[in-house]
Every structure is written in structure tokens, then in C-alpha cells.
Amino acid sequence: MAESIVDIVKIDNILKVENCSTRLRLTVKNNKDGIEDKDLKALGIYGIKRLGDQGLQLIIGTDVEHVANEVQTLFLINEKNTNMNKKET
């Protein structure tokens, strides 16, 4: 599920990954462009809350911690690769 969420939200759009007991809380650059509720719900996500332009909360349920850890790992790998590419140029 985590990889599919990242594919929909776009890894370069993610600024911060957090979770509570049932929600994956993402801070993103833009929570509207290209992020379709129907695509997220097709993954089994129960609901989507958008807060302002940058807040995106995905209601996943009690398995959210595992999903959040996977999204965080993908985010950190991307961030590390981006920083390495900046140093090379």
C-alpha cells in the first residue's frame, strides 16, 4: 500500500510523514494536483482529509504505523538520493 500511496501522491511532493493511531498524516507541497480521492480509496483507504493546501490525512486504520514506516523509508531514500545528486552537480 505504501508504494501505491507514494505513486499517487508523488515522492517529490512529500515534505513530512507522520501518523496517529489510524491516520497517515502527510505534509505535501500541494495536496490537490493529481491526487485523486478515488485512486486512494481504491487502495483500501477509508477516507481522505485535506487541510489547507499542504495537509493530507489518509484514514487507513490500525495498520497505519506499518504503512507510515514504509512511506517514511521511501521518502528518506528519495531525499538521500536527491541530496547526493545535488552534491554531484
> Model confidence over 11-64: pLDDT tens digits?
999 999 999 999 999 999 999 989 999 999 999 999 999 999 999 999 999 999
Quote the domain boundaries for residue 52: 1-79
What local confidence, expressed as pLDDT, does residue 88 receive?
Answer: 67
- Whether 9 is catalytic: no
Query: Which CATH number covers residue 68?
Result: 3.30.1360.60
What's the rounded Cα separation, in Å, for the pair 79 and 57?
21
Counting the structural domains of the chain, the total is 1
- Catalytic pick from 15, 20, 42, 77? 20
Average pLDDT on 78-85 reads 75
| Amino acid (1-letter code) at residue 51 | L
Q: Where does the pLDDT of residue 89 fall: very low under 50, low under 70, confident under 90, or very high at 90 and above?
A: low
Residue type, 62: T
Question: What backbone phi and psi angles, to 5 degrees, belong to 18?
Answer: -140, 170
